[in-house]
Amino acid sequence: MKERKKTPLAFPGDRLAVSEEFLPGPHTYDSSGQIRALRAGSVVKDMKSMEISVQPFAEPELTRVDDWVTGQVEGSQANSANVHVFFLNGKPTYKDFSGMLSLRGLSGGGRGERRTTPVKPGDIVRCRVFSLVNGIIHLTIDEPDMGVVAALCGNCGRPLLKGSATKLKCDECGNVEERKIARDFGNTPIEP
Compute how many other C-beta atoms are within 10 angstroms of the C-beta atom of residue 26.
14
Picking from 104, 98, 110, the residue whose alpha carbon sits closest to that of residue 79 is 104
The two beta strands, 176-178 and 9-10, are unpaired
Residues within window 123-182 making contact with Zn ion, judged by CB under 5 A:
153, 155-156, 170, 172-173, 175
Q: Give Cα separations from 20 to 2, 17, 26, 39, 45 (angstroms).
A: 22, 8, 17, 22, 14
Query: CB-wise, 40 or 168, nearer to Zn ion?
Result: 168
Query: CB-wise, 100 or 152, nearer to Zn ion?
Result: 152
Distance, in Å, from the CA atom of 174 to the CA atom of 155, rounded to the nearest integer, reads 9
* Least distance to Zn ion, CB of residue 181, Å: 17
Query: CB-wise, 49 or 164, nearer to Zn ion?
Result: 164
Contact yes or no for 133/142 (Cβ under 8 A): no
* Least distance to Zn ion, CB of residue 151, Å: 11
Query: CB-wise, 34 or 155, nearer to Zn ion?
Result: 155
Residues within window 40-79 making contact with Zn ion, judged by CB under 5 A:
none
Q: How many residues bind Zn ion (CB under 5 A)?
A: 7
Contact yes or no for 158/186 (Cβ under 8 A): no
Distance, in Å, from the CA atom of 172 to the CA atom of 153, rounded to the nearest integer, reads 9
Distance, in Å, from the CA atom of 8 to the CA atom of 111, rounded to the nearest integer, reads 48
CA angle 138, 94, 85 (to 5 degrees): 30
* Least distance to Zn ion, CB of residue 120, Å: 13
Query: CB-wise, 38 or 119, nearer to Zn ion?
Result: 119
* Least distance to Zn ion, CB of residue 186, Å: 15
* Least distance to Zn ion, CB of residue 17, Å: 52
The residues that bridge with 76 in the sheet, in sequence order, are 81
* Least distance to Zn ion, CB of residue 154, Å: 8
Query: CB-wise, 165 or 173, nearer to Zn ion?
Result: 173
Q: Which chain residues interact with Zn ion by CB under 5 A?
A: 153, 155-156, 170, 172-173, 175
